[in-house]
């Protein structure tokens, strides 16, 4: 199935470059370009893309607010934020607005293409490094696990799935989890898929939040 993509960036040359990279892929189709956030929202509502490549800093409506508006009006569209600035505030704001991923614009083309396919399939693309930094910075603002009742959905998980979820909540990558639990990386990926299904979670980011809210991990 072809993945339809809207490109939102205030630099025309970057829009053209992204479009050329996407056009070369048989399963990816660039369907529109926007030079500002307001146009991105308008085109998303009109074209209903599967994925929006969203710049953060654009004139008028910025990429974060545009993401919020797009997901409110087009709940089945996924947003992948691309920015020049490796700032925690941008990553946190974008994820809070509902974005499914956060990448730097200097990401290699093959990584960008893989990220687009990943978010289109319903998963999130946020590096474990970014997750760890966000947890360190915003941990004081997370819900206090001691003040909330354990989530009943935890009972759906096997003991091994709980172990994997704890590792995910700590911001570790699949490779790191595999090494820590002496598993194959493919096995970790399978466990994570079942965890998301059983807990009714959208992606890895929601799994991290769930791990805190359900007391599997305590802020420290």
What is the average pLDDT across 79-98?
A: 76
Per-residue pLDDT band for 69 (boundaries 50, 70, 90) equals: very high
pLDDT tens-digit map of 188-211: 999 999 999 999 887 777 787 788
User: Which contacts qualify for 151-155: CB closer than 8 Å, 24 or more apart?
Assistant: 151/210, 151/213, 151/214, 153/198, 153/199, 153/200, 153/214, 154/214, 154/216
Which pLDDT belongs to residue 88?
57
Q: 3-126 — its CATH code?
A: 3.40.50.2300
Record the pTM.
0.70
Q: Please enumerate in sequence order all residues whose Cβ is within 8 A of that of 35, keeping only pairs 6 or more positions apart, or say none.
A: 8, 9, 10, 12, 15, 58
Fold matches, 3-126 and 138-213: yes
Which pLDDT belongs to residue 131?
65
Supply the mean pLDDT for the chain: 85
Q: 138-213 — its CATH code?
A: 3.40.50.2300
pLDDT tens-digit map of 11-66: 999 999 999 999 999 999 999 999 999 999 999 999 999 999 999 888 889 999 99
More confident: 146 or 178:
178
pLDDT tens-digit map of 126-168: 765 666 666 666 565 555 555 555 678 889 999 999 999 999 8
Q: How many helices (H) and strands (E) does the chain have?
A: 10, 5
> Exposed, middle or buried: residue 159 (CB in 10 Å: 0-12, 13-18, 19+)?
exposed
Give strand pairing partners of 5: 30, 51
pLDDT above 60 (res 181): yes
What are the boundaries of each domain within the chain? 3-126, 138-213
């Amino acid at each position: 199935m072809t993945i339809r993509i809207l490109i939102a960036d205030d630099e025309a040359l970057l829009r053209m470059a992204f479009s050329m990279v996407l056009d070369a892929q048989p399963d990816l189709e660039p369907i529109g370009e926007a030079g500002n956030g307001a146009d991105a929202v308008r085109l998303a509502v009109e074209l209903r893309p599967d994925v929006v490549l969203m710049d953060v800093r654009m004139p008028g409506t910025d990429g974060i607010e545009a993401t919020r508006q797009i997901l409110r009006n087009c709940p089945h569209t996924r947003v992948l934020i691309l920015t020049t600035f490796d700032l925690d505030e941008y990553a946190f704001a974008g994820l809070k607005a509902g974005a499914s991923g956060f990448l730097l614009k200097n990401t290699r083309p093959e990584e960008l293409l893989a990220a687009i396919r990943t978010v289109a399939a319903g998963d999130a693309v946020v590096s474990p490094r970014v997750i760890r930094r966000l947890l360190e910075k915003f941990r004081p603002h997370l819900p206090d696990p001691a003040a909330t009742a354990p989530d009943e959905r935890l009972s759906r998980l096997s003991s091994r799935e709980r172990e994997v979820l704890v590792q995910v909540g700590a911001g570790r990558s699949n490779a790191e989890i595999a090494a820590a639990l002496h598993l194959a990386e493919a096995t970790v990926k399978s466990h994570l898929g079942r965890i998301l299904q059983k807990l009714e979670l959208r992606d890895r980011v929601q799994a991290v939040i769930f791990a805190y809210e359900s007391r599997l991990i305590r802020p420290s």
